[in-house]
């Protein structure tokens, strides 16, 4: 009996020693990993601050002003002025012409039918409009709007 | 075998002396053990205990030895985070968070001549990489026996590679952080600039030299804030527009300097502050050692320049007169001449007839009218009023230059001073003082504290200076200066600028005043009926050929520049143009002042 207890406790000591050493090594490995990650974060932060500085430098007002002037024909950017403000009722909304005016007979058409409790649309949106001619290719082959 | 710690064996005696039992002996008497066996067991136990103790103490001793022999270092976890991540100095941003100042990593070059293989070749190689370096001088220095030289504070990656390619072990690189102002000279006077303080081969300390960099030096470098940026009240796009317009205006008017301040009329936040000529804080020039300090590009005219600001002061005398109930807007004031105070004549630009209403005194800018009103108010009350507007002390704005810019106030205050100060002569103050006073007077009538930092919450209103009604009346008068008075060129469609012009002769260093050199100022508020911003524009020695003659008055010089500034920045500030004729009525002014 006593021998068994001795053997068990020795085994327990050995096992605990393994566990303790294992934990110690694990901790140290984790610490190294944390340190590496922190260094990594530090580098990334430095890169980030460098990029931020570069972004600020590339977006400096002087450069943007020059770019806007260089690309004026393309973009037509001008300084914001009081003329650019408008009342909402000054905004030109697309003309709302009723479908009846277009001569499309809505009354005689069933726009939807119910089949087995499912409503199916019979009407394709835009069907009532006059067909638009497809854009013709220009002489040099370029598509005109 | 004898163990080293075993004692000499002694003759064994029986340690257990039998005593007379005091209790009843057990039924069966114990078997007496062999004394020899007992002795051996005792000895074994003692040895075992001794071994344990020796082992324990030697482990402790070994650990103590290891601790004392090894180098001390802190536990790595947790403590390292601050060092690598947070850069040394926090960024400075504008109110929208756009970067005004930041850091980038850079490289410094230093030499350790005792490690050099060939000092002469190293010096020649350096001279070929850096055009400014003289090969002979450095060859002499490298062979002089010194062990350390700083060569360059900041070098580019290309230069670093070129130096690296020299293959000289005595040329070494140090890590640096470099302060960068990505927008160049924009807001240079506010930012100031930075330089290296204490430097080491591993790192260098960045110290602010002027402007907010110097005032917030500790704050920006405080690691506890973990690199949180310093947010200024400036707006980058507004600042750009102001500087551009001011620079072209300065060119057009042939002025040698200009300054502009745009301040939030309610909170005192400085949205834009410009002073021309300016400089690039990335490459801060040396202070001028000769010539006029006021012509130095480093000189912040908006804060440091104390000038006589001329007729822009008239509104203070009028507002005080209204506040004291001495007059109202329609009271007729005697503007007839000649007027002599303490034997000095007080003249007007031209004769305005026998009398003008108080409103017209401001609109026509009559010196005699304001002088008479100021004399009615009296010197003591006038001084108290100007003091409450902040004209007797430096401005509390967070710039290193501000505390040094004390207004020049007359020491004695006879009647002639009362009269001249009422139209802005004899008392010199900075454009920032004027902007603060206008914001205090017109923004609602309570004292406004100027600041360069973005406020998180609206500040508590300061002590009341004038009643809201007086503030509204003053704005209404200033509006009429623009619609039918001396500042007619300040009219900006939709933004209802109200303001006052001021033209002051420049004092000559030899005493007296120049005849042909002036400082012109426009101080205004927009929109006048609901004040949002105060604008002060000052031009130094402007002159423009207009309508057939050379003109120097503010109405022809500072006013058009100010109008162009308002035209450009008001939409940027998000102000809607207001074309409603009803806003021009005095009722609208009063309604905004009393909050109804």
CATH of the domain at B440: 3.40.710.10
Residue B560 resides in a domain:
yes
What pLDDT is recorded for position B5?
62
**How much is the pLDDT for A145?**
39
B360 found inside a domain: yes
Q: Are B557 and B540 spatial neighbours (Cβ–Cβ below 8 Å)?
A: no
Rounded mean pLDDT, A128-141: 58
Is ipTM beyond 0.90? no
Rounded Cα gap, residues B406 and B131, in angstroms = 45
Q: Do B76 and A35 touch (CB under 8 A)?
A: yes
pLDDT for residue A133: 60
pLDDT for B92: 92
Instruction: Give the integer Cα–Cα distance in Å for B365 and B494.
Output: 25
Q: pLDDT tens for residues B414-435?
A: 888 999 999 988 899 999 999 9
Q: Is the pLDDT of residue A102 over 80?
A: no
B508 among known catalytic residues: no
> By CB neighbour count within 10 A (0-12 exposed, 13-18 middle, 19+ buried), where does A85 fall?
middle
B148/B142 Cα distance (integer angstroms): 9
The span from the CA of B15 to the CA of B18, in Å, is 9
Check A56 against B76: CB less than 8 A apart.
Answer: no
Q: Which residues of chain B lie closer than 8 angstroms to A37, CB-CB?
A: none
**Which of the four pLDDT bands, split at 50, 70 and 90, describes residue A104?**
low
Which residues partner with B468 through β-bridges? Answer: none
Which two structure tokens, joined as six digits, stand for B225? 């804030």
Is B405 part of a structural domain of the chain?
yes
| Cα Rg of chain B, angstroms | 40
Q: What is the DSSP letter of B398?
A: S
Please tell me which residue in B233, B272, B275, B311 is annotated as part of the active site.
B311
Interface of A with B in 12-31 (CB under 8 A): 31
Tokens 């020796």 map to which residue?
B54
Q: What is the pLDDT of residue B593?
A: 75
- The pLDDT score that the predictor gives to residue B437 is 94
Low-confidence ranges of chain B (pLDDT < 70): 1-12, 15, 21, 23-30, 74-87, 595-596
Residue B588 lies in a domain: yes
Per-residue pLDDT, A117: 74
> How far B77 CA sits from the closest chain A CA (Å)?
6
Is the omega angle on the peptide bond into residue B527 within 30 degrees of 0, that is, cis?
yes
User: What pLDDT does B319 receive?
Assistant: 93
Place of tokens 């490459």: B283
Q: Could you tell me which of B329, B306, B495 has the C-alpha nearest to residue B402?
A: B306
* Angle at alpha carbon of residue B249, lines to B244 and B255, rounded to 5°: 120
Q: What is the mean pLDDT of residues A52-80?
A: 89
Distant-in-sequence, close-in-space partners of B165: CB < 8 Å, separation ≥ 6: none
Q: How many domains does chain B have?
A: 1
Give me the domain span that covers residue B382.
Answer: 237-594
pLDDT tens-digit readout, A24-56: 999 999 989 998 998 898 888 888 888 988 999
Within an 8 Å CB–CB cutoff, is residue B87 touching chain A?
yes
Mean pLDDT of A71-81: 87
**Angle (CA) B346 B349 B351, round 5°:** 85
Output DSSP code: residue B541. Answer: S
pLDDT of A86 reads 79
Contact A41 B492 (CB under 8 A): no
> Is residue B411 in a domain?
yes
Strands B257-264 and B230-231: unpaired
């Amino acid at each position: 009996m006593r021998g068994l207890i001795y053997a068990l406790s020795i085994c327990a000591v050995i096992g605990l020693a393994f566990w303790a050493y294992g934990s110690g090594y694990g901790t140290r490995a984790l610490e190294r990993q944390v340190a590496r990650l922190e260094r990594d974060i530090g580098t990334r932060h430095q890169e980030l601050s460098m990029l931020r500085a570069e972004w600020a430098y590339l977006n400096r007002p002087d450069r943007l002003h020059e770019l806007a002037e260089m690309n004026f024909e393309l973009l037509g950017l001008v300084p914001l002025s009081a003329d650019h403000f408008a009342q909402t009722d000054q905004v030109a909304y697309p003309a709302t012409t009723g479908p009846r005016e277009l001569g499309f007979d809505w009354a005689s058409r069933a726009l939807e039918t119910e089949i087995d409790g499912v409503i199916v649309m019979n009407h394709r949106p835009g069907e009532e409009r006059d067909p638009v001619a497809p854009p013709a290719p220009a002489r040099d082959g370029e598509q005109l709007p | 075998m004898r163990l080293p710690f075993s004692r000499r064996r002694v003759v064994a005696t029986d340690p257990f002396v039998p005593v007379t039992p005091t209790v009843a002996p057990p039924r069966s008497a114990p078997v007496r053990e062999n004394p020899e066996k007992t002795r051996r067991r005792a000895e074994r136990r003692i040895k075992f205990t001794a071994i344990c103790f020796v082992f324990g103490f030697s482990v402790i001793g070994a650990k103590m030895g290891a601790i004392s022999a090894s180098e001390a270092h802190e536990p790595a976890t947790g403590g390292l985070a601050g060092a690598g991540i947070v850069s040394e100095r926090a960024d400075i941003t504008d109110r929208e968070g756009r970067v005004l100042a930041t850091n980038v990593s850079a490289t410094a070059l230093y030499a350790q001549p005792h490690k050099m293989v060939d000092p002469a070749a190293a010096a020649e190689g350096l001279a070929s990489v850096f055009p400014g370096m003289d090969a002979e001088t450095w060859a002499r220095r490298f062979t002089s026996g010194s062990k350390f030289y700083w060569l360059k504070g900041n070098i580019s990656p290309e230069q670093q590679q070129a130096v690296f390619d020299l293959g000289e072990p005595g040329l070494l690189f140090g890590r640096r952080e470099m302060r960068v102002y990505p927008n160049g000279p924009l807001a240079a006077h506010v930012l100031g600039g930075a330089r290296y303080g204490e430097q080491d081969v591993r790192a260098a300390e960045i110290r602010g030299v002027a402007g907010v960099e110097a005032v917030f030096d500790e704050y920006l470098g405080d690691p506890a804030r973990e690199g949180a940026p310093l947010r200024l009240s400036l707006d980058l796009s507004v600042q750009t527009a102001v500087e551009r317009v001011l620079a072209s205006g300065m060119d057009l008017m042939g002025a040698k300097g200009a300054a502009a301040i745009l301040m939030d009329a309610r909170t005192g936040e400085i949205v834009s502050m410009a002073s021309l000529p300016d400089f690039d804080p990335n490459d801060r020039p040396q202070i001028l050692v000769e010539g006029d300090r006021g012509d130095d590009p480093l000189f912040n005219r908006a804060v440091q320049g104390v000038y006589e600001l001329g007729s822009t002061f008239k509104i203070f005398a009028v507002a005080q007169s209204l506040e004291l109930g001495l007059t109202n807007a329609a009271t007729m004031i005697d503007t007839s001449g000649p007027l002599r105070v303490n034997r000095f004549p007080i003249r007007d630009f031209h004769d305005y007839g026998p009398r003008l209403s108080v409103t017209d005194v401001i609109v026509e800018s009559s010196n005699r009218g304001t002088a008479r009103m100021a004399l009615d108010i009296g010197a003591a009350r006038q001084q108290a009023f100007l003091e409450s507007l902040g004209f007797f002390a430096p401005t509390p704005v967070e710039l290193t230059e501000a505390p040094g810019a004390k207004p020049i106030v007359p020491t004695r205050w006879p009647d002639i001073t009362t009269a001249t100060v009422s139209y802005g002569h004899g008392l010199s103050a900075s454009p920032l003082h004027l902007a603060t006073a206008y914001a205090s007077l017109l923004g609602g009538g309570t004292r406004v504290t100027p600041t360069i930092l973005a406020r998180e919450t609206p500040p508590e209103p300061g002590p009341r200076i004038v009643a809201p009604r007086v503030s509204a009346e003053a704005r209404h008068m200033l509006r009429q200066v623009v619609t039918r008075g001396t500042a007619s060129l300040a009219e900006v469609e939709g933004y209802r600028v109200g303001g006052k012009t001021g033209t002051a002769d420049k004092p000559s260093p030899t005493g007296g005043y120049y005849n042909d050199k002036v400082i012109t100022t426009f101080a205004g508020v927009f929109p006048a009926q609901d004040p949002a911003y105060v604008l002060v524009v000052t031009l130094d020695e402007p002159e423009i050929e207009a309508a057939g003659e050379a003109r120097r008055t503010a109405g022809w010089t500072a006013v058009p520049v100010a109008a162009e500034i308002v035209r450009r920045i008001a939409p940027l500030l998000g102000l809607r143009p207001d074309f409603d004729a009803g806003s021009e009525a005095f009722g609208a002014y009063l309604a905004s002042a009393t909050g109804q």
